[in-house]
Amino acid sequence: MVYRRHCSCTNPYSSATCDCHATPRFHSICMVSDFFYPNVGGVESHIYQLSQCLIERGHKVIIVTHAYGDRKGIRYLTNGLKVYYLPLKVMYNQSTATTLLHSLPLLRFIFVRERVSVIHSHSSFSAMAHDALFHAKTMGLHTVFTDHSLFGFADVSSVLTNKLLTVSLCDTNHIICVSYTSKENTVLRAALNPEIVSVIPNAIDPTDFTPDPKIRDRSRITVVVVSRLVYRKGIDLLGGIIPEMCQRYPNLHFIIGGEGPKRIILEEVRERYQLHDRVRLLGALEHQQVRNVLVQGDIFLNTSLTEAFCMAIVEGASCGLQVVSTRVGGIPEVLPENFIILCKPSVKSLCSGLEQAINRLLAGELLSPETIHRTVSTFYTWRDVAERTEKVCVYNRVAQEVVLPMDQRLERLVRHCGVVTGCIFALFAIVSFLLLNFLRWMTPDSSIDIAVNATGPNGAWLRQYSTERKHELTRKRDPDACKEPSDLSAEH
Amino acid sequence: MGTKEFLDAHGEKITLHQEAHSVSCREFSVVCPKLSVRSVTSCTCAVWLAAYAIFAYTQNTLVLSAAIICTICGLLLYLHFMKIDQESLLLIGSLGIQLTTSFASGKESTVFIEMCRVKDVVINEAFFMQKVVYYLCILLKDPTDPKEISEIVPVFQSSKPRMDCLTDVYRSCQEILSVKSHNVATMD
Amino acid sequence: MSPVLQSPVLQSPGADHYSSLSWGAGNPPSGSVGSPPIWKKVLYEHQPFPDNYVDDRFLEELRKNIYVRRYHYWAVVFEAGVVIQQLCSVCVFSVIWWYMDQDLLSPQKLCGVGLALTLLGYLLFDAVDQGEGRRDSGRTHWADLKSALVFVAFTYGFSPVLKTLTESISTDTIYAMSVLMLLGHLVFFDYGANAAVVSSTLSINMAIFASVCLASRLPRSLHAFAMVTFAIQIFALWPSLQRKLRANTPWTYISVTFFFAIFAMAGLLSISSVGALLFFLLLLSVAFLCPYCLIRLQLFKDNIHGPWDEAEIKEDLSRFLD
């Protein structure tokens, strides 16, 4: 059997690239999350950018997500990033339904044919991510999980989800959080040893967010808000701030980008106070439009009520805006004090924060946009994130670790997650183990074709670009490289 | 050119016959394993035993006759419409591609694609049931815009050969197609 | 070149050894610089610590049980009085129905006593708070009298209909439905808790429905009329008087509750002694055991708060839209 459970520190597939006792230099990483393009958001761009940087560093990366409408099957993105859009049913909020078992056959097939060595799941809201972690542990693969969100402890729903997270993370090799607050939160939620939790922040592409002070209108003060218009982003607060501030400053204007159920509140406020010429609601923004909206403003306002790592304020600061934000979650860790004015999550405090920013702006005390951009652009880059994820801690470390064999895993589940939950999930683990063995008997690993590596060492994509693609010789010598990297998704 | 044995996606043995009729004309045929007598017998026996059990319970002879008719009709329909014995791909560089499917009953269905409509022959991958399989397919040009692909015609759909077999076929196809495109280029 | 590589920390020759460092908690790497660096809870600086470094300040902003209310035993027992009252109301109602069903109680007598008690309660209702509530609501006695007359007239007029309303339904179904409805009444009753299940309209409707069901099984239509009127008195009027008593004269309320409970138990005792004993135990546990459990369980409360909690909007933001 080519592909079997292994508890040693060596990687079973990439033995060619493995230099004996040390960990393999290149990993074969599978990112799993329900959230990926064409969906847009923080998790999606995190996965995409991280994957691109890891490919650049020579690793093989594939992404597994669920089908988005017409987009199903197997696709290739920039630089040969292979994405599997699995035909699974979407349950709620783009998250798939989970039975902990039904996705095993497909995921196992993909893990085997791609010779995956590390499973990297993203977002605790994604059922598929947890499923993949569960199956990977059954198959004896190394697992990494990135948590992107904060969660409370107070109500019944959070008690239940935290229990599930405990189960899911109790035998995961390593966990990444995006801020220290998020780490504290995750450690408490899942009752983890803090040493297996690393903090690696999110990043932005600073070249996408460059300032352009010429576009600003000097005759007025413009406050920009770019966020989804939902309760958690504090849009109710924004509905209170707008009339207050517009009464105090006659030349104050608001530009609001984003869409969501709370848009109605902003529209009502605009109607009620006759602010049609001063409050512009732009609706949903494309990623490339965000920068052009941001540079029109002087001040960036963020009213979030909870936030693990606020990418929006980094984007705002990178465009040279003074940031005013609520002091919640990981936000105080993100920017140094001279770039951000932190307020309590109340209308009064946010208004005084905005006033402070406006006074500084009028007095000319604000840092110049270029200075802010230059400083902020050194803080967070995807290359740094990828490097830390790969080298400094996670993948290299995880590859040396031992994946718990079945008996220890069951013991760990029962000991760590409480008797009742532990026993239930231990039962699930046993069923999934039996199912896996049944699948191995039905379709032995040897009868599964090994997929052509698009990325990673000897990746077809890179070789393809080094030679002329349409050249006849290439085709003769290297037929597999000529696979169509297009949107073919035949399912029959 | 010769006969080689390969495995299909389910792990069964299939044979690939390659025949070079001329420099620019080749035929590939994939022969699936024959319907084994044992599986037919066991299927029929299972149905009859079930029918007999129902008969013993209900004392209704209609069940038995229905079971016999069902098995016979089922076998006929299966042989005629489902069981595919051989799939072949005939590639003539100057003319086009002909796909032939022969059923176990002897029925044949043929599709012919003119060369001017063929854009390329590639290996692609797709989800099939709980599997991810490689398959060979012919890309057809969009008549309005020759750069675009209008349709994909999968080849060897029922036999589902594995990658090594597909690669062989793919290489040979590309040899002919590249000669053809080379000729077109020189003619231009 | 990425900005990371320009940062002095990672460029220093000692930078490499951070990756090979032992991953122990709480030991900051030393030796690369003169004084040991101090960890800061910031993300924008590249700090000379491994990514999974755990500082002593880890979880220092964790707070536990900050919103916990401290309960006093007797205060909780006093609050439990509302539940006792409602249990007793249901019990008294059932006992009265049983008496009516057995023809041990004439409808005239029930109506008479009910009317007298209602008048007494009506006078008390105004006397307890010196007519303050009436002045606030601006409702006149004439309006009360009118609505009472209309109600009585309608119930009297419709009581023959009530009597025959459920004839086609089997008696067992009626009993089961009544029990279910009375339980529902107890569940949804407004005991003063701020919860989603509380709905006083639903609660009172369920009680009236139960009374209509039970009334339809009584011998004559006058019985049905007396029963429904009594249900209104005990399920609608009596709780509002109680509420007022509780707010203004707590001691009277306690004694009223006590005597009402005694009365309910005595009534039940005249029907079934086992039932009375069980009811007594139920009241005892609701009044004394449950408050004790509540206070004991408070000790196990382990509510975690910290900077990750979703901020609450404490202001009233609707003023901006009015």
Q: Do A31 and A158 belong together in one domain? A: yes
- In what helix (H) or strand (E) does residue A29 lie, and over which residues does it extend? strand A28-32
Contacts of C among chains (3+ CB pairs under 8 A): A
Band of pLDDT at residue C15, cut at 50, 70 and 90: very low
- Over residues A285-289, mean pLDDT: 86
Q: What is the DSSP string of A430-444?
A: HHHHHHHHHHHHHS-
Minimum CA–CA partner of A181 in chain C: C308
CB nearest to A490's CB, from B124, B131, B162: B124
What is d(CA A372, CA A366) in angstroms, rounded to the nearest whole number? 10
Residue A476: list chain B partners with CB under 8 A: 171, 174-175, 178
Considering just the CA atoms, what is the radius of gyration of chain A in Å? 25
What is d(CA A435, CA A99) in angstroms, rounded to the nearest whole number? 13
Band of pLDDT at residue A299, cut at 50, 70 and 90: very high
Q: Do A357 and A390 belong together in one domain? A: no
What is d(CA B33, CA B86) in angstroms, rounded to the nearest whole number? 9
Give yes or no for residue A14 having a pLDDT over 50. Answer: no
Band of pLDDT at residue B188, cut at 50, 70 and 90: low
Q: Do A293 and A390 belong together in one domain? A: no
Tokens, residue A457: 């060492």
User: What pLDDT does residue C7 have?
Assistant: 36
Looking at residue A7, what DSSP letter applies?
Answer: -
Give yes or no for residue A472 having a pLDDT over 60. Answer: no
CATH number at residue A407: 3.40.50.2000
User: What pLDDT does residue A136 have?
Assistant: 93
Give yes or no for residue A368 having a pLDDT over 70. Answer: yes
Q: Do A56 and A107 belong together in one domain? A: yes
Residue A451: list chain B partners with CB under 8 A: 125, 132
pLDDT (tens digit per residue) in C40-69: 888 888 888 888 888 888 888 888 888 778
Q: Where are the domains of chain B?
A: 2-35+83-187, 37-81
Q: How many residues does chain C have?
A: 322
Where among A362, A379, A396 does a domain terminate? A379
Report in angstroms the alpha-carbon separations of B72 from B42, B65, C186: 14, 11, 68
Helix A235-248 vs helix A263-272: angle between axes, to the nearest 10 degrees? 20
Where among A341, A357, A379 does a domain terminate? A379
Band of pLDDT at residue A393, cut at 50, 70 and 90: low
Residue A182 at interface with chain C, using a CB cutoff of 8 Å:
yes
- Find residue A360's DSSP bridge partners: none
Tokens, residue C84: 């006792």
Q: How many residues does chain A have?
A: 492
Q: Which of A1-5, B50-54, C81-85, C297-301 has the lowest mean pLDDT?
A: A1-5
Q: Do A218 and A196 belong together in one domain? A: no
Contacts of B among chains (3+ CB pairs under 8 A): A
Give yes or no for residue A5 having a pLDDT over 50. Answer: no
User: Could you give the ipTM of this predicted complex?
Assistant: 0.84
What is d(CA A199, CA A378) in angstroms, rounded to the nearest whole number? 18
User: What pLDDT does residue A403 have?
Assistant: 82
Q: What is the DSSP string of B61-111?
A: THHHHHHHHHHHHHHHHIIIII-EEEEEEEEETTTEEEEEEEETTS-EEEE
Residues 6+ apart with CB under 8 A from C3: A377, A378, A381, A384
Band of pLDDT at residue C34, cut at 50, 70 and 90: low
What is d(CA B125, CA B127) in angstroms, rounded to the nearest whole number? 7
Residues 6+ apart with CB under 8 A from C37: C28, C47, C48, C49
The 10 Å CB-count burial string (b at 16+, else e) for C20-44 is: eeeeeeeebbeeeeeeeeebebbbb
A321 within a domain of the structure (yes/no): yes
pLDDT (tens digit per residue) in C236-273: 999 999 988 888 888 999 999 999 999 999 999 999 99
What is d(CA A112, CA A2) in angstroms, rounded to the nearest whole number? 10
What is d(CA C288, CA C74) in angstroms, rounded to the nearest whole number? 9
Q: Do chains B and C touch (3 or more CB pairs under 8 A)?
A: no
User: What's the total number of domains in chain A?
Assistant: 2
- Over residues A332-354, mean pLDDT: 92
What is d(CA B91, CA A382) in angstroms, rounded to the nearest whole number? 49
User: What pLDDT does residue A476 have?
Assistant: 34
Band of pLDDT at residue A99, cut at 50, 70 and 90: confident
User: What pLDDT does residue A106 have?
Assistant: 93
What is d(CA C148, CA A187) in angstroms, rounded to the nearest whole number? 63
- Over residues B30-59, mean pLDDT: 87
What is d(CA A64, CA A36) in angstroms, rounded to the nearest whole number? 9
Q: Do A394 and A338 belong together in one domain? A: no
What is d(CA A86, CA A402) in angstroms, rounded to the nearest whole number? 29
pTM of the model: 0.77
Give yes or no for residue C139 having a pLDDT over 60. Answer: yes
- Indicate the burial class of B126 (C-beta count within 10 angstroms; 0-12, 13-18, 19 or more): buried
Residue B162 at interface with chain A, using a CB cutoff of 8 Å:
yes
Residue A102: list chain B partners with CB under 8 A: none
Band of pLDDT at residue C111, cut at 50, 70 and 90: very high
- List phi, psi (to 5°) of A30: -120, 115
- Over residues A141-160, mean pLDDT: 87
Tokens, residue A3: 């592909």
A473 within a domain of the structure (yes/no): no
- Over residues B147-156, mean pLDDT: 88
Q: Where are the domains of chain C?
A: 1-60, 74-298
CA nearest A285: which of A225, A238, A325? A225
Helix (H, G, I), strand (E, B) or coil at B20: strand
User: What pLDDT does residue B185 have?
Assistant: 61
Band of pLDDT at residue A392, cut at 50, 70 and 90: low
The 10 Å CB-count burial string (b at 16+, else e) for C190-215 is: bbeeeeeeeeeeebbbbbbbbbbbbb
Q: Do A41 and A147 belong together in one domain? A: yes
User: What pLDDT does residue C94 have?
Assistant: 94
Percent of chain A surpassing pLDDT 90? 50
Band of pLDDT at residue A489, cut at 50, 70 and 90: very low
Q: What is the mean pLDDT of chain A?
A: 84
- Over residues C139-166, mean pLDDT: 89
Instruction: Report the C-alpha dihedral over residues B128, B132, B135, B137, rounded to 10 degrees.
Output: 70
Residues A369/A321, Cβ–Cβ less than 8 Å: yes
Where among A334, A360, A379 does a domain terminate? A379
**Cβ under 8 Å to B: A residues 345-384:** none
Q: Which of A34-38, A471-475, B21-25 has the lowest mean pLDDT?
A: A471-475
User: What pLDDT does residue A366 have?
Assistant: 85
- Over residues C3-25, mean pLDDT: 35
Helix C200-215 vs helix C221-232: angle between axes, to the nearest 10 degrees? 160
Give yes or no for residue A409 having a pLDDT over 70. Answer: yes
Q: Do A225 and A342 belong together in one domain? A: yes
What is d(CA C75, CA C70) in angstroms, rounded to the nearest whole number? 11
Domain encompassing residue A297: 213-379
